[in-house]
Amino acid sequence: MVKVKIRNERLIEKRQSQICKGAIKVFRQKGFHASSIRDIAKASNISLGSLYDYIEKKEDIFFLVHKDIHQHIHTRLIEGIGKSDDTVEQLIHVFKGLFDLSIEKKQEILFIFNETRYINKKDLVELQEYERQVIDTFKSLIDKGVEEGTFTCRQPDIFSNVLLLIGSLIPLRGWRVLPMFHKDEIFFNLIYLILKGLNTRKDDSEIMRMIEKVL
């Protein structure tokens, strides 16, 4: 939990987002340890004094970025499920939301993968709960498909973790795949791989039609 000196929740959210964006730029250039709070304040266009109204220390930024990403992911998953009653289409929409978010938040997600080791244990416990909500949303969708006979999956929890990792392909490997393939082609192949991995009880032509509907 990040301690703040301001009570205006809307202003807190706005300024903390501003600080996180500035900090990520600084960390990419200098690395975490070489970056100072003054560097972060300058990159965020916030005075040094004002910055301390919204965070106490550099480590708070890790918590804020993690929390923001996981909340955005969870929102996209819920929105995706609401777009269809068909389990396969729900999974396609859910993964599309995750995939698109990974492009929008590419630098933030890469930052999470690279710098997680700096999060203190107390904050890590809270962040793991946010991540569990995301994994549980994937798992509940897979469980539903298994119960319907639409999917076959021996370990939905493991598969759910794999889905989250696959959805982060662009931040992790975008430098390699984006010069060669359009993002829609990448998404198509990833979700096709996922549906095949779940032994989806639909023929290829129907699966392709469902995927193309969301592109």
For the chain, the domain total comes to 2
Contacts of 152 (CB under 8 A, 6+ apart): 146, 198, 199
Model confidence pLDDT, tens digit, residues 179-203: 999 999 999 999 999 999 999 999 9
State whether 13 and 81 are in the same domain. no
pTM: 0.85
Whole-angstrom distance, CA of residue 127 vs CA of residue 111: 15
Model confidence pLDDT, tens digit, residues 56-75: 888 888 888 888 888 888 88
Residue 161 is part of which domain span?
A: 58-214
Model confidence pLDDT, tens digit, residues 107-149: 888 887 877 777 778 778 888 888 888 899 999 999 999 999 9
State whether 51 and 99 are in the same domain. no
pLDDT recorded at residue 29: 86
State whether 99 and 50 are in the same domain. no
State whether 78 and 51 are in the same domain. no
State whether 67 and 135 are in the same domain. yes
pLDDT recorded at residue 121: 80
State whether 67 and 126 are in the same domain. yes
- DSSP for residue 167: T
State whether 125 and 75 are in the same domain. yes
Whole-angstrom distance, CA of residue 172 vs CA of residue 45: 29
163, pLDDT greater than 90 = yes
State whether 77 and 150 are in the same domain. yes
Q: What is the mean pLDDT of residues 28-33?
A: 82
